[in-house]
């Protein structure tokens, strides 16, 4: 089975892999991470679904194999990088993935594309059945990509692809059949070596260099996206950041495997929800005042189809007011 390259490219897929290995390789490390409490506010990783991540059979008993796809949002990162260097930027930043899928919630976009792939496969194999696996499901998606030969775990715990770096989202099809003419892939070697760029660049020391895992509550992404309470404590060192108000790309931006990747063309940023015009161009005080005038329900309705719908108005205001204090030279 060979997928048409141009067709996959139209779906923003830069690589794909296949595996018949149903057991997660890194579950023991994941369990230790949970036991040490490093998941912090990410309670959904430690609840009743935790043990389901041991094996694909736990959520799909009929599973025989899996196809794993890497969805690229590097062009959005490049467009944003150029924007941040322009005079239009107000100095605030958001994670690149927010803009990587036409400004929409990537879960919905990737699910639609995985369903397209599944229907394409079923045309030549009507007995084939599949289940989608994204980062919202009880599957260790990076481990599944590792098993499929698509990369290795960086010291920041991100999956890194040798050619395409780490600005990638993982989407998988869990299948009820083994596919013909598919070889079991080799597990990719670790190519981080002695590099500590991501560890050194993290302003909040959220990356544990010994275990090569993330201390979630010290991560700016966790703080600005997952900690939805208005009074959530700010990670120590956050003021050394770069104006992150929703997510953080710092550890990825400095990764040599991303730096060496060059965008062939300057791709305009798709922004159907005008997130740049609303949050990355106006004066900081104006953004705060507009949000304070808005209600929780109005914010939720306006942004429910975007990644920002997850966090809510209060958490976003908390991030914005934090950077207001920093710019005013006040103690946050």
pLDDT tens digits, 224-240: 999 987 778 999 999 99
C-alpha 221/C-alpha 226 separation (Å) is: 7
H runs (alpha helix) in the chain: 5-10, 27-35, 74-84, 97-100, 106-124, 141-147, 197-201, 220-221, 250-253, 256-259, 275, 284-293, 296-303, 313-327
CA angle, corner 42, sides to 37 and 43, nearest 5? 80
pLDDT of residue 272: 45
pLDDT of residue 38: 96
Can you spell out the DSSP letters for 72-125?
Answer: E-HHHHHHHHHHHTSTT--S-EE-THHHHTTTS-HHHHHHHHHHHHHHHHHHH-
| 3-class secondary-structure state, position 317 | helix
Give yes or no for residue 160 having a pLDDT over 50: yes
Can you spell out the DSSP letters for 111-156?
Answer: HHHHHHHHHHHHHH-TT--EEEE-TTSSS-HHHHHHHTTS-EE-TT
The sheet carrying 130-133 orders its strands as: 13-19, 65-72, 168-175, 130-133
CA distances from 275 to 12, 71, 265, 271 (A): 21, 21, 23, 7
Quick one: pLDDT band at residue 1, thresholds 50, 70, 90? low
| Averaged pLDDT for residues 208-220 | 95
Of 43-57, 123-137, 159-173, 265-279, the poorest mean pLDDT is in 265-279
Predicted model pTM: 0.95
Give yes or no for residue 262 having a pLDDT over 80: no
| 3-class secondary-structure state, position 34 | helix
Give yes or no for residue 265 having a pLDDT over 60: no
Give yes or no for residue 267 having a pLDDT over 90: no
| Averaged pLDDT for residues 269-276 | 65
| Averaged pLDDT for residues 191-213 | 96
C-alpha 313/C-alpha 303 separation (Å) is: 10
Mean pLDDT score of the chain, rounded to an integer? 93
- Contact 266/79 with Cβ under 8 angstroms? yes
How many Cβ atoms from other residues are within 10 Å of residue 155's Cβ? 23
Quick one: pLDDT band at residue 274, thresholds 50, 70, 90? confident
Give yes or no for residue 104 having a pLDDT over 60: yes
Quick one: pLDDT band at residue 309, thresholds 50, 70, 90? confident
Buried b (16+ CB within 10 A) or exposed e, 70-106: bbbbbbbbbbbeebbeeeebbebbbbbbbbbbebbbb
Two tokens, residue 84: 């941040």
H runs (alpha helix) in 136-233: 141-147, 197-201, 220-221
Q: Could you read off the pLDDT of 2-42 as tens digits, one per residue?
A: 788 899 999 999 999 999 999 999 999 999 999 999 999 99
Give yes or no for residue 261 having a pLDDT over 90: no
β-pairing verdict for 244-246 and 93-94: parallel
């Amino acid at each position: 089975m060979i997928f048409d390259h141009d067709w996959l490219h139209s779906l923003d897929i830069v690589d794909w892999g296949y595996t018949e290995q149903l057991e997660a390789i890194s579950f023991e490390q994941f369990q230790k991470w949970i036991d040490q409490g490093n998941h912090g506010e990410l309670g959904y990783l430690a609840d009743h679904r935790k043990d389901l991540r041991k094996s694909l059979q736990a959520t799909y008993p009929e599973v025989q194999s899996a196809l794993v796809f890497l969805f690229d949002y590097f062009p959005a990162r490049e467009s944003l990088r150029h924007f941040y260097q322009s005079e239009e930027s107000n100095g605030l930043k958001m994670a690149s993935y927010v803009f990587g899928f036409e400004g929409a919630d990537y879960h919905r976009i990737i699910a639609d594309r995985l369903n397209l792939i599944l229907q394409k496969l079923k045309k030549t194999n009507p007995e084939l059945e599949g289940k989608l696996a994204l980062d919202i499901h009880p599957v260790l998606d990076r481990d599944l990509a590792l098993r499929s030969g698509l990369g290795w775990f960086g010291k920041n715990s991100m999956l890194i692809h040798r050619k395409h770096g780490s600005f990638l989202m993982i989407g998988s099809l869990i299948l009820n059949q083994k596919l013909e003419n598919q070889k079991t892939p080799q597990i990719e070697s670790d190519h981080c070596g002695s590099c500590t760029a991501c560890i050194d660049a993290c302003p909040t020391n959220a990356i544990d260099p010994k275990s090569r895992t993330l201390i979630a509550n010290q991560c700016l992404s966790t703080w600005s996206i997952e900690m939805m309470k208005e009074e959530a404590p700010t990670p120590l060192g956050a003021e050394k950041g770069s104006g992150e108000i929703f997510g953080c790309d710092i550890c990825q931006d400095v990764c040599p495997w991303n730096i060496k990747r060059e965008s062939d063309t300057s791709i305009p940023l798709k922004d159907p929800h005008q997130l740049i015009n609303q949050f990355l161009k106006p004066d900081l005080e104006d953004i705060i005042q507009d949000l304070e005038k808005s209600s929780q329900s109005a914010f939720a309705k306006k942004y429910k189809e975007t990644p920002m719908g997850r966090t809510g108005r209060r958490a976003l205001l908390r991030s914005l007011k934090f950077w207001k204090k920093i710019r005013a030279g006040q103690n946050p």
